[in-house]
A and B are shown apart, each in its own frame.
Chain A
Amino acid sequence: MSTKELTRGAEATSVKYVTPRVEISETETAVRLYADMPGVGLNGATVELHDDVLSFEGSAESSNGRSARHYRRRFNLSDPALFDLEKIAAKMSHGVLEVEIPKAAKPQPRQIKIATT
């Protein structure tokens, strides 16, 4: 389980990122992540899974005398095999990003026939 810094060097020169506050829950069926990104609409958000790193970003346009704001955060998925990564779903609702990472279906117990000799 790595908590290694990923790409912090490159960003110092260009965009300044705000770290959004998150809530992470886990149930039997899925892990859900919620991130507060006020000002970010559907078109301003991206979610990406690269290897076992889940990253998301959001851009809020400048408004009311405030400059544009960029959000970004990354998480390591500690056990990718546990999840059905093809079915990750994300949505934006009132400035909150919600990412759902469904767990892969557990293999069903299988009966092994015992042969008689």
Chain B
Amino acid sequence: MLYALTEASPLDRFWDFRREFDRLFDEAFPFGRPEGSSTSFTPAFDWQEQDDGLSLRVEVPGVEPDKLNVSVTGHVLTVEGERWSKNDEHSVHRNERSFGKFSKSLHLPEQYDLAAVEAKHENGILTLRIPKSAAAKPRNIRIEAR
């Protein structure tokens, strides 16, 4: 097979190193890699706490909207999804992207109102907004002057 595209920057060869590492790992430990290893799709996850709630950001490039699911059970919020290569395995000669199913659950404290979660999916990023319940929001108490 012809390798039509070659890396223009030697620094980016890092990925070749990483793939080689994964291959060696598979050889040494044929029973499988630990969860979260580089060849299974594990989206980057981060969150930010604000006064009135929690903002969650999940990077899900290439995950079709119908393959992305957010659910709430009690106080557990779960984000699930999957993505697969569009290419026949034999036609791929460089693969740094990872594929498969992922599922991430977060147990959130009582102060969050999981009935009011808002989700937005745009340009491969899922953003979840989880407001604090009214009782948990900071509230100013008026001080009466005498």
A residues lining the B interface (CB < 8 Å): 1-6, 8, 19, 21-27, 31-34, 36-41, 53-55, 60, 63-66, 73-79, 82-83, 92-96, 101
Q: What is the total of A-B residue contacts with beta carbons within 8 Å?
A: 140
**8 closest Cβ pairs, A-B complex:** A95-B124, A95-B61, A74-B8, A25-B87, A21-B96, A38-B124, A38-B59, A75-B5
Query: Is residue B140 contacting chain A, with contact meaning CB distance below 8 A?
Result: no
Tell me, rounded to whole Å, the shortest Cβ–Cβ distance linking A45 to chain B. Answer: 10
Size of the chain B interface, CB-CB below 8 angstroms: 43
Q: Does B146 contact A (CB under 8 A)?
A: no
Judge whether B73 is part of the interface by a CB distance below 8 angstroms: no
Secondary structure at the A interface, as helix, strand, loop or mixed, is strand
Q: Report Cα–Cα, A31/B94, bound state, in Å.
A: 11
Given the interface contacts A3-B7, A65-B48, A79-B4, does A95 sit within 8 Å of B123 by beta carbon?
A: yes
Sample 20 A-B pairs with CB under 8 A, ordered by A number.
A3-B6, A6-B8, A23-B95, A26-B4, A34-B86, A36-B61, A37-B61, A38-B124, A39-B125, A54-B5, A55-B8, A60-B123, A64-B55, A66-B46, A75-B7, A76-B5, A78-B2, A94-B63, A95-B59, A96-B62
**Shortest distance between the CB of B40 and any CB in chain A (Å):** 14
Min CB distance A18 to B, Å, is 11
- Complex Cα distance A74/B7, Å? 7
Chain A residues with Cβ under 8 A from B98's Cβ? 21
